[in-house]
Chain A
């Protein structure tokens, strides 16, 4: 199985997104160049973290016009899996692959820390390896992660079960301030209505090696592998 990681100008999480499936699953991963028009038959597209176009104007606003994004959208429309981490999530929202927008953290500060999440859905192709309600720890590192959408959209996300991860208090720690960016309804990750596009602010691709901390990101990659096995 092959993962394709899109490198936009200013992407910097592309390296971690490439290494994760290789090191955690032993699968293939290649870079896809933003100026190309060809997804090279990859099975899964990853929109990685970083600061595409410097995050100038709005995070993700300029990258969504890259030539390769047309192919990514087509791949998603065909039902192909797309995983968007951090800046990728911002790009996916700007591109209309996912609803809503990611605004500046309520603290107005960039925040890099491990964070607790609750897995809200295990019936998606990205999360079947987790347990329902499981609390996991993943790193975050972003300045624009405040998920926002209008009430109708939020209701639809809730009603259709599109909210996959929420920021949650760690049972072992004080409950205050567990939402690191002021996201509405503590939303950390969502899928589209068809369930084949996942966007999330935390970084599972940075949590696949126990040497570096909790390896709670591995299950996400395994889930994808189990569904998309080729």
Chain B
């Protein structure tokens, strides 16, 4: 069929091509593929599908190197979400997704719609969402703008998840000037399904109708995908009309209707209309099924009058799905949607001819040969070179940094670290998230990882996101290895075997050699760790161009880990609970302070080698810990992370403010180490355990070749008392608790009213 330009469409000029983010080379490829000049509609389609966000053109070759298979992986990367089997015929679908750019412009709606999108990715697999997580990065809370972004994102995440009724059970929040102007907002969703109910988004069956479901299409978010593929600049402000508004109420209806549709057997495929909207959902489903499709834009329910095919195809209006139904079942599909007060419109069909065709009534406005629209996108492996500046920072001798006078009193240092917003309690955040709905949250936010039970079984899943961007900045490979290892350790501390990960690669502009170096190294590190720990990658998301004129964010490969608790009896919490229990340290202390929160917070320094990550040791540690837990020997387990051993011990005695304890600890065994490294260094592979049966824990550790030492006793003394040779640190638990629990509320009080006001516009007032 012949493609004709629509009257009134702009003429294709080099300037227009550039505006659409295509390079000259890419444009030439397009012309070669079509054998002619594209129409305006076609240019729009390609600009969206070949955007970084949709095509992964700078990351795909790297992502191919990740380990993705294992017997329990039912669905690896490439689908809406990854799926793993967890026994008893049950499976878990999970995925993480970024909404960094939208959140920088409009934090409330940006973060909220991020949650909406990731929920849809999971329920379109046939899974019922049972948990949400989020991983957030902001600049320093000293800035009013940052407080506004932080408060807005948290409220957006909360309002959306709360309204749909999915508990938000875990996550992380990090504050660092590196994220000033470029907040990172990653949301993860986890769903449960029966293995037999797994649904894939593969268009099939010539003659099957393609149905648009859910909200009407408006002009919002047009070109969001390409927007997410650019640096944030002055010009970004002008792009504000692209903001999308979320409607969690419609999402809830869509969730129930989609699951009912999938279970009804009336449909063959379903996919969220996410980034690049109708275009990407239809093209991707067609490509996966290796079939042709035709879409008639006149049939797409529009919210506004006079919308062009270009706009209808590229709109990112939220809460919409694309369904391929079985031919002849249109009425049944419509009936299910009507029950949930949703509309459905047949907008196209699967065809035998291998083309991707868009018509507007009688006129063909776009036509691409077969699946080449998706597969012809070029990939790039740009030059990679480490930044000299970063290398110099890493090589710097941080041990030579002189102590500040106040550090004479390590309690001062400890409280200063506990007050650091990155370490301090995030209760201010997660109190705004409903984490008890669905009555399955065995461990909610505030522990090492969340634990969500699986009703009808004795099992549970453990969930956590993790990444230390400072480590990855100083050494991308080591940093990414640590991110995986720490996520695994957190999950293991709750009694779960780490099973698989999803990941979100948040990086700067890959065309800069130093950024592409970070990306390449981080992916390599992630692959090494996932292989060593037996946790394949089932999916993820790449967000590049997280830069503004003053530079890129820290390379931040966020890991979303899923673990399996085989019996509810194994569920383990992180705080000390019982006076008289023995405190055992699994793993060993070292003299490493490079890249630590201590250097950042106390010395305003980002330098040195991040701690070494020994993956073999990490694996043994996890095995030993899980075995000790299964033996019933472990009362509590908490890994050491930001702020090191002293912070971990402080957290153990007061993270649960209502049942604070105390402890007497003797670290004399390590008195030859520099005191600050022992207390605040962030050596990897360590877990603080409290136990009524230390002999059993020590024996199990020995069997696995894991160093283990008895370091103290849990007390109800109200103080944390640490002796190291001749040194003694005695901290009052209420005062530690005050530092840890009040830090963020106190900062946010400064401007709490301002954000609440600026946010009252939002739906849930």
Q: Which residues of A contact B (CB under 8 A)?
A: 9-10, 12-13, 15-16, 19-20, 49-51, 53-56, 104, 108-113, 139, 141, 143, 172-173, 203, 205-206, 208-209, 211-212
Q: Which residues of B contact A (CB under 8 A)?
A: 155, 158-159, 162-165, 247-250, 252-253, 340-341, 430-442, 453, 455, 568, 658, 756, 763-765
B436 touching A110 by the CB < 8 A rule?
no
Cα distance, A102 to B323, chains bound together (Å): 40
Knowing A110-B162, A110-B434, A209-B439 are in contact, say whether A51-B568 is a contact too (CB < 8 A): no
B568: chain A residues within 8 A (beta carbon): 211
B763 touching A54 by the CB < 8 A rule?
yes
From B162, B340, B442, B764, contact of A9 by CB (8 A) = B340
From A20, A54, A109, A112, contact of B248 by CB (8 A) = A54
CB distance from B746 to the nearest CB of A (A): 14
From B165, B249, B340, B435, contact of A13 by CB (8 A) = B165
Knowing A143-B764, A173-B658 are in contact, say whether A51-B437 is a contact too (CB < 8 A): no
CB distance from A52 to the nearest CB of B (A): 9
Cα distance, A212 to B247, chains bound together (Å): 30
B432 touching A212 by the CB < 8 A rule?
no
B162: chain A residues within 8 A (beta carbon): 51, 110, 112, 141, 143
B249 touching A9 by the CB < 8 A rule?
yes
- Can you name 17 A-B residue pairings with CB atoms under 8 Å? A9-B249, A9-B253, A9-B341, A15-B438, A16-B437, A20-B439, A51-B165, A51-B248, A54-B249, A55-B163, A109-B756, A110-B155, A110-B433, A112-B162, A141-B162, A206-B439, A209-B439
**Chain B, residue nearest A53 (CB):** B249
Cα distance, A139 to B170, chains bound together (Å): 18
CB distance from A3 to the nearest CB of B (A): 15
B441 touching A212 by the CB < 8 A rule?
yes
B756: chain A residues within 8 A (beta carbon): 108-109
B252 touching A12 by the CB < 8 A rule?
yes
Knowing A9-B249, A112-B431, A211-B453 are in contact, say whether A56-B436 is a contact too (CB < 8 A): no
A51: chain B residues within 8 A (beta carbon): 162-163, 165, 248-249, 252, 764
CB distance from B244 to the nearest CB of A (A): 16
A13 touching B437 by the CB < 8 A rule?
yes
A209: chain B residues within 8 A (beta carbon): 439
Cα distance, A92 to B756, chains bound together (Å): 28
The 9 A-B pairs at the shortest CB distance, nearest first, are namely A12-B165, A54-B249, A141-B434, A51-B163, A108-B756, A139-B436, A16-B439, A112-B434, A110-B432
Cα distance, A135 to B755, chains bound together (Å): 35
A205: chain B residues within 8 A (beta carbon): 439
B163 touching A54 by the CB < 8 A rule?
yes
CB distance from A46 to the nearest CB of B (A): 14
Q: A10-B249, A55-B764, A113-B431 are in contact. List 14 more A-B contacts (CB 8 A).
A: A9-B249, A9-B253, A13-B165, A16-B437, A19-B455, A51-B162, A53-B249, A54-B248, A104-B765, A109-B431, A109-B432, A112-B162, A173-B658, A212-B436
B249 touching A212 by the CB < 8 A rule?
no
Cα distance, A141 to B430, chains bound together (Å): 11
Knowing A111-B431, A173-B658 are in contact, say whether A56-B442 is a contact too (CB < 8 A): no
Cα distance, A172 to B765, chains bound together (Å): 34
Knowing A9-B249, A112-B436, A141-B434 are in contact, say whether A50-B764 is a contact too (CB < 8 A): no
A212: chain B residues within 8 A (beta carbon): 436, 439-442
A10: chain B residues within 8 A (beta carbon): 163, 249, 252-253
A111 touching B437 by the CB < 8 A rule?
no
**Chain B, residue nearest A140 (CB):** B436
A53: chain B residues within 8 A (beta carbon): 249
A49: chain B residues within 8 A (beta carbon): 437
A206 touching B437 by the CB < 8 A rule?
yes
CB distance from A51 to the nearest CB of B (A): 4
Knowing A54-B764, A112-B433 are in contact, say whether A19-B439 is a contact too (CB < 8 A): yes
Cα distance, A13 to B165, chains bound together (Å): 7
**Chain A, residue nearest B166 (CB):** A12
Cα distance, A212 to B443, chains bound together (Å): 8
CB distance from B668 to the nearest CB of A (A): 36
B248: chain A residues within 8 A (beta carbon): 51, 54
B163 touching A206 by the CB < 8 A rule?
no
Cα distance, A211 to B440, chains bound together (Å): 9
Cα distance, A212 to B249, chains bound together (Å): 27
**Chain B, residue nearest A180 (CB):** B431
CB distance from A97 to the nearest CB of B (A): 23
B253: chain A residues within 8 A (beta carbon): 9-10
Cα distance, A203 to B165, chains bound together (Å): 14
**Chain B, residue nearest A208 (CB):** B439
Cα distance, A56 to B31, chains bound together (Å): 49
A50 touching B165 by the CB < 8 A rule?
yes
A111 touching B432 by the CB < 8 A rule?
yes
CB distance from A158 to the nearest CB of B (A): 30
B436 touching A141 by the CB < 8 A rule?
yes
B159: chain A residues within 8 A (beta carbon): 110, 143
CB distance from A170 to the nearest CB of B (A): 8
Cα distance, A127 to B432, chains bound together (Å): 29
Cα distance, A173 to B98, chains bound together (Å): 40
Cα distance, A2 to B442, chains bound together (Å): 28
B431: chain A residues within 8 A (beta carbon): 109, 111-113
A112 touching B435 by the CB < 8 A rule?
yes
Residue from the set A13, A173, A205 with the largest chain B CB neighbour count within 10 Å:
A13
**Chain B, residue nearest A54 (CB):** B249
Cα distance, A46 to B433, chains bound together (Å): 24
Cα distance, A53 to B253, chains bound together (Å): 10
Cα distance, A3 to B208, chains bound together (Å): 42
CB distance from A201 to the nearest CB of B (A): 13
B432 touching A56 by the CB < 8 A rule?
no
**Chain A, residue nearest B247 (CB):** A54
CB distance from A65 to the nearest CB of B (A): 14
A56 touching B249 by the CB < 8 A rule?
yes
**Chain B, residue nearest A49 (CB):** B437
Cα distance, A119 to B276, chains bound together (Å): 54
Cα distance, A51 to B764, chains bound together (Å): 10
A56: chain B residues within 8 A (beta carbon): 249, 763
B437 touching A12 by the CB < 8 A rule?
yes
CB distance from A16 to the nearest CB of B (A): 5
From B247, B436, B440, contact of A203 by CB (8 A) = B436
CB distance from A36 to the nearest CB of B (A): 12
From A12, A113, A139, A208, contact of B164 by CB (8 A) = A12
**Chain A, residue nearest B427 (CB):** A113
CB distance from A123 to the nearest CB of B (A): 29
CB distance from A105 to the nearest CB of B (A): 11
B163: chain A residues within 8 A (beta carbon): 10, 12, 51, 54-55
Cα distance, A199 to B163, chains bound together (Å): 20
Residue from the set A54, A112, A206 with the largest chain B CB neighbour count within 10 Å:
A112
CB distance from B487 to the nearest CB of A (A): 24
Residue from the set B340, B431, B439, B764 with the largest chain A CB neighbour count within 10 Å:
B439
CB distance from A54 to the nearest CB of B (A): 3
**Chain A, residue nearest B250 (CB):** A54
B432: chain A residues within 8 A (beta carbon): 109-112
CB distance from B258 to the nearest CB of A (A): 15
B442 touching A211 by the CB < 8 A rule?
yes
CB distance from A145 to the nearest CB of B (A): 13
B441: chain A residues within 8 A (beta carbon): 212
Cα distance, A9 to B351, chains bound together (Å): 36
From B250, B437, B440, B442, contact of A141 by CB (8 A) = B437
B247: chain A residues within 8 A (beta carbon): 54
Cα distance, A139 to B436, chains bound together (Å): 8
**Chain A, residue nearest B460 (CB):** A211
B438: chain A residues within 8 A (beta carbon): 15-16
**Chain B, residue nearest A7 (CB):** B256
CB distance from A83 to the nearest CB of B (A): 16
B435: chain A residues within 8 A (beta carbon): 112
**Chain B, residue nearest A14 (CB):** B165
**Chain A, residue nearest B158 (CB):** A110
A16: chain B residues within 8 A (beta carbon): 437-439
